Structure formats: C-alpha cells, structure tokens
Amino acid sequence: MDETVAKSAPAGLTAAGWRLGQINIPAAAVQSIARTIRNSVLIALGLVLAWLAINVLLVIFAGILLAIFLRGLADVVQRLSHKFGLHLPIGWALLIAIVGILIILAAISWFFNDQIDSQIAQLSQDLPRAFHNFEDKIRQFYWGRLILNEISPAKIANTTNAGNIAGTVASTVFGVAHVTVEIAAALVIFFFIGLYGAIEPDLYARGAISLVPPTKRPRARYILEQTANTLWYWEMGRLFSMTVIGVVTGIGLWLLGVPVPGALGLLAGILTFVPYAGTVISAIPAALLAFTIGSELALYTVLLYVGAHTLEGYILVPLVQKRAAHLPPALTLSAQAILSVIVGIAGLALATPITAAAVVLTRMVYVEGMLDASTEAAADPKQG
C-alpha cells in the first residue's frame, strides 16, 4: 500500500501531487483546483468587461438579430427561387430580400402618409390636453391633490437653486447632443453588423467555433444553429403579432370612436415587440385620450387592449412560436425589469430575445452538455 503520510517531508509540489505537511494532495486534485480557480477568474473578468461594455454588447446583439432576420428572409427567397427553377445564389437572394423590405416600407409610408402623419400630429397636440384633463379630474379627490402637489413642477423648481439654472440648462443641451451622437453611432454599427452578418454568417460562426476544443466543435456549431433558429422564429412571431395587434387595435379604437385610431394602432403594433411592458405603455395614451371623452369610453378602451393582447398571448404566440423557446411570463418580466434598470429602454426592448437565447444556451450547454453527461457517468458502473 502506498504511503500517503510523510511527517518529515517538506511542503511542495512533487510528481505525485502537492504535499503540505502531513497532507498529500493527488496531482489530479491539484489540476482540478487550478482549473476551477482559472475558470472562476476568467468568468469574473468576463462579467466585469460585460458590465463595462454592456451598451456596446446590446448594440452588437441587436445587429446579430438583424443579421438573423435578413439571412432568414434570404433563405426563404432562395428556396422559393429553387421551386421556380431560378436557383438564385444567396447573395442575390439577400439583395432581393432587402429591396423587398424597402419597397414594402415605402409602400406603407406612401399609402398611409396623409392619414398617419395627420393623426400623429393630432396625437402630439391631444395628449398634453388629455393629460391636463386627467389631472383636473384627479384633483377633485384629496389623495389626488396630495400626489400632484408632491410632483408638481413648481415645487420641484422651488427646491432648485436658482444659481444652478444656467449650469443645468447647459448640461441638458450637451447631454442631448451626446445622446444624439451615441444613437446615431449605434444605428450605424447596428446596420453594418446586421448587413455583414447576413452576407457571411459562416465566417463569424467559424471564428466563434474555433475557440472551442476540436472534439466539441460539431456540438458547438449545432448549438449556434439552434440558437439562431430560435431567434429567427421568435422574430417571425413578433412580426406577426405586431401586425395583428396593430390592425386589431386600430380598428377597435376606430369603432369605439377614440381619437387618432391609426396612430394609436401603429404605436400598439410597434410596442408589441416588447412583450407585456409594451402592452401597458401603448394603452396609456389611448386611455388618456378616451378619458377626455368619458370614463366609460376609457374603460372600453382598456378592455380592448386587454382583449387584443389576450388574443396575442393565448392564440397568436402559441400558434406562430411553436419552434421558438417557451418563455414563462415571470422569467420574461424579470429579465425586462433587470435589464431596464441596468441599461434603460434598450435593455427593456432586447430583454426577451436575450432571454430566449439564454434559455436555449442554458439547456443545450449546461443541462444537456454537463448535467446529463455527469448523470450518465455516475450511472455507468464502469466509472469510478
């Protein structure tokens, strides 16, 4: 039997492992501890870098979503061309998809230009009046007067030092300019990442897969493909839901007699991209405008939004997103809350696709790749 205790041996690394006094740690255990420390340090560094560059990472992720969307449309165009015997290369299919999107957007803009533009202009005028009308009605109650007095601009202005007004105005102007430049740069980066990613997705996929050990590269490619497929079907589901909700809401508001139904329907359709939170945000201006006509109409307006998004949640989403990751509402709302606090509006808008990708990666990398492998190893009588 091997001697594992050596009273007189000094501490240090030996061929058999690490010896510390009377304790002899096997070499395999030393290597395992070293790997754990190394991986923990790398993960910590990665989290710190992600925290520092989270806004840039969100722009990159948005660009990846655009690339998946454009490439998916190009694949559809290419498959259709094969059915008609044209056999278009993927580059031409991508060009046709992009031109088709531009034509559709231009046609919608031309067809609804006068109506939507006039309604949006009217909405920008009616909303402040609707808010003041709502404020006047709230002031009829004691609790309403208390709340409004606490948040009134006059009280906030009185608590501000008059000497700081010029500095506040200057900082606001520079802040707006800074944000404008950031948004413009983000849009340029977003567009080119999406375009280049759609043109040569395999180039970037191979670069990411090359970071994985050779024996695991086929599995890594499969995981990337499944994640991209999930995001593609999620995007198609969102696009379909946005269209249906926008049309249903616009028609419903028109039938109820709510002002500017076209603009409000367009707003509802756009904000449907953000599940749950977008519903609440889009319903607020419609309810305020309906409240200027009557509280009963405001109630019917709220019920219309509840019904439209119930239709989305129980019929549209299960119908069109069968091949996308199932996202429990609590998980989606939690991700939206966390990312909106950390990043703001961009985090709120991208929380759901980020969660969908994270669910797929967690299932395929951790659950199937690690936990299932560990379970099989533990069940194998030849192991250990």
H or E element: which one contains 26? Answer: strand 23-26
Q: What are the structure tokens assigned to 181, written together?
A: 């430049």
Adjacent-strand bridge partners of 25 = 18
Asked if residue 20 has pLDDT above 90, the reply is no
Judge contact between 309 and 245, C-beta under 8 A.
yes
Q: Which residues contact 209 (CB under 8 A, 6 or more apart)?
A: 217, 220, 221, 224
Asked if residue 1 has pLDDT above 50, the reply is no
Kindly report each contact of residues 334-338 with a partner whose C-beta sits within 8 Å and lies 24 or more positions away, as own/partner: 336/274, 336/276, 336/277
More confident residue, 64 or 112: 64
Asked if residue 164 has pLDDT above 60, the reply is no
Judge contact between 316 and 244, C-beta under 8 A.
yes
Each residue of 264-297: pLDDT tens digit? 888 888 888 887 778 888 888 888 888 878 888 8
Region 128-137: mean pLDDT is 67
List, edge to edge, every strand of the sheet that includes 17-20: 12-14, 17-20, 23-26
Region 13-29: mean pLDDT is 59
What pLDDT is attached to residue 111? 67
H or E element: which one contains 150? Answer: helix 142-150
Instruction: Determine the Cα–Cα distance for residues 3 and 267; give it in Å rounded to an integer.
Output: 77
How many alpha carbons fall within 13 Å on the CB side of residue 247? Answer: 7
Judge contact between 282 and 267, C-beta under 8 A.
yes
Adjacent-strand bridge partners of 24 = 19
Average pLDDT, the chain: 77
Kindly report each contact of residues 200-206 with a partner whose C-beta sits within 8 Å and lies 24 or more positions away, as own/partner: 201/67, 201/71, 201/228
Adjacent-strand bridge partners of 9 = none
What pLDDT is attached to residue 335? 87
Q: Which residues contact 70 (CB under 8 A, 6 or more apart)?
A: 94, 97, 98, 194, 195, 198
Adjacent-strand bridge partners of 13 = 18
Region 99-103: mean pLDDT is 91
More confident residue, 231 or 182: 231
Region 25-49: mean pLDDT is 76
Q: Which of the listed ranges 26-30, 171-175, 273-277 does the model predict with the highest average pLDDT?
A: 273-277
Asked if residue 6 has pLDDT above 70, the reply is no
The single residue listed with the structure tokens 């249903």 is: 248
Asked if residue 39 has pLDDT above 60, the reply is yes
Each residue of 136-161: pLDDT tens digit? 666 666 665 666 565 555 554 454 45
More confident residue, 356 or 19: 356
Provide the 3-class DSSP secondary structure of residue 13.
strand
More confident residue, 381 or 334: 334
Q: Which of the listed ranges 84-98, 130-144, 149-163 does the model predict with the highest average pLDDT?
A: 84-98
